[in-house]
Structures are given as C-alpha cells and as structure tokens.
Chain A
C-alpha cells in the first residue's frame, strides 16, 4: 500500500465537511466535567466556613474571590490564546498581573487602617498548611480536564500552555478554598496562595510539555 501526497490531499479535501468544535467550547466542557470532582472534595473535606454570612461584610473576605477569579479568567484567556500555534505571549502575559495588582492594592489598603493583629500574625495566619494542601489537590481534577481539552488546540509552547492551564485550575480551586479559609488578610493571601498556585502551575508545565505536543 502506498499514499502519495496528492492522494492524501484528496482525502483531506473530502473530509472538509467535518467541523471541529472551537477550543473554547471544549475547554469549558473539560472544566465542567472535572468540576464535580473538585466540588465533591471541597464539600466532603472542607465546606464553607460557618461564619460566612458575617464574613461577607468584611471587604477583604470578598476581595479574595476577586483575586482568585481574576486569575482564573486571565489564565482562561491566555489558555485560549496559546492554543493557536502562531502566537507569542507578547502583549498577553500582563493579564496575569491583574490579580497581583489587586492584591498589592489590598495590602496597601490594609496598611492604612489600624489592625487588631500584628502584621506577621496576619501573614502567617492559622490555615497555611491546609491552604498549601487543599488548593493543589482540588486543582488536580480541573487541571486534568483542562489539559485533555487543550489537546484539541495546537499550541507550539506546550510547557507554557500547561503552566497556564495550571494557573487556571488553581485559580478555580483557590476560589473554592477562599470560602473555607478564615484568614482574610491580603498578606496571608499574597504569601500562601501563590506557593500553592505556583506548585500547580509547575505540575501543569511538566504535564503540558508531555501531553500538549502535537
């Protein structure tokens, strides 16, 4: 049997009627399929903090979600951008600065109001260990879903695309975790969340460099 290039081209043209779904659709689907697993881990293991109604009056509690969701949205946009083969990160990577900027503004804001607890106590908090475990573990199903979905794309930067998928899944997992955690100081968030999220990004980069090649 043989296959000349002209023959291959003929069969590709005959398959032109086949329409693939857009990467964005498949990525949303992958995350939706994985979400129940992460949610189940959250509900069975952590749950929302008992004083959530009172906590919502604290702007620093609410802003935790703004930061984590800003990260998830920025990483989602970057993921879709990187799923095209010809693009570079130029002009796009600054999206990841948005959550950091919000966090920096919060820290400045917190400094301006007198606090009952000293700075180091707020920074160290009482949940750092659970933060460092829960965010990565709850990220894993979402990361797997995102990576499987992104195989539908055509990234020529598999490690970077995997890292961004890690940021996306960690941003979503951190959103869940933020509703459990009683440490609301932006100093705590700026210290421990990035370690947990960075770990997931590293796992994503490693996995991406294997599975996102095409």
Chain B
C-alpha cells in the first residue's frame, strides 16, 4: 500500500512540474481505488452503486481543478482521499441523503485487483450539451476522438492557446454545472 501511495506522490510531483503523461498515468492509477471507495460509500448509504461512476467522475474533476491546493511536500494519498470523501458526501447530499461517510471508505479500498468500470456515468454526459458549442467541440475532440491539442486546433482553425482555454473552460464549467444540479 505504501509503495503505491509513494508512487502516486512522485507521479503527482512530475505532473505539477508539467509532465502530462505522468498525470495521465496517475489519474488512471487512482481511478479504480476511487471507484471501489465510491461503491463502498454508496452501499453504506443505501444508494444504488450504479451511481458510482458519476461519483468517480465528479471526484476526478475536483482533483483536477483543485490540485493547486496539494502541497508538493506532503504525501498525495491523504489529499486525494479528502477530496474524494468531500465529493462523495456532496453527491449523497445532492441526492437528498445526509449520511455519515466512513473516513476509511477510500483509504481502505486500495484494491488488489483493479475494479472495472461496470455502470456508466451519465451526469457529465447530460451536462455536455449545455456547454457553448466551441467548448463542447474541443472537449469532444480531445476526450472522445483522442485528438491532440495541436490536431484539435488545426481541425477547428483555432490557435493552440485558444484550444487550451476552451478545454479548461469546458472542464471548469462542467464542474460548476454539476454543483448547481
């Protein structure tokens, strides 16, 4: 467990210093852990666990948009689990549930074998159509069609800077819309 967490910390340090591949690897590595914790928390609250993927995506967006609050001298896992717990509680509250979330729902859930994505998420997908067309196109191109920033820029006759701005705004506004739900 500690080796995994140390590896996360080094990956996040690399990510902060600009290594996007390390960041990608880190997010992929933490996702099964977040998924297991989300399922455990939902089950404890008596909620259907098929909502777990929405919770996972919610957590990932928060991790992304709040990563500047991580102190690079501190271990990454406690920060990650604090964000995850907060989003799980928030998501249960939005569903009208006021429940106690066990502190260790996430920390205990570092699984031996990866938990696969079974149910699919629907909340972010539902908000996609409310984005301005330009932001939606850019997000679609990068997320769904796996196009690079550069290719996306060429495809829509935009500068790479404009693509980056549109992508970031799309992610930030998705997060805001999920909160307003």
Contacts and interface: CB of A to CB of B under 8 A. Distances in A.
A3 B57 contact: yes
A4 B128 contact: no
A6 B70 CA distance: 23
Nearest to B146: A10
B53 to A, nearest CB: 6
Nearest to A13: B24
B57 A8 contact: yes
Contacts of B154: none
Contacts of A3: 57, 121, 124-125, 128, 143-144
A153 B62 CA distance: 11
B171 to A, nearest CB: 6
B125 to A, nearest CB: 5
B13 interface: no
Contact of B83 (A12, A18, A154, A213): A154
Interface stretch (A19-27, A110-118, A198-206): A19-27
21 contacts: A1-B125, A3-B124, A3-B125, A6-B28, A6-B117, A8-B60, A9-B27, A9-B28, A13-B20, A13-B27, A16-B18, A20-B65, A23-B69, A84-B70, A84-B71, A85-B66, A86-B78, A154-B66, A154-B86, A156-B82, A213-B90
Nearest to B163: A14
A76 B21 CA distance: 36
Contacts, number: 118
A83 B143 contact: no
Nearest to B160: A17
B66 A14 contact: no
Interface of B: 15, 18-21, 23-24, 27-28, 31, 53, 56-57, 60-62, 64-71, 74, 78-79, 81-83, 85-86, 90, 117, 120-121, 124-125, 128-129, 139-140, 142-144, 146, 148-149, 164, 167-168, 170-171, 179
Tell me whether chain B's interface is mostly helix, strand or loop, or mixed: helix
Given A7-B143, A156-B86, A2 B125 contact: yes
A51 interface: no
Contacts of B139: 11
Contact of A9 (B24, B68, B179): B24
Contact of A10 (B24, B78, B86, B129): B24
Give the interface size bracket for A toward B.
20 to 34
Contacts of B170: 11
A4 B70 CA distance: 26
Contacts of A22: 68
A5 interface: yes
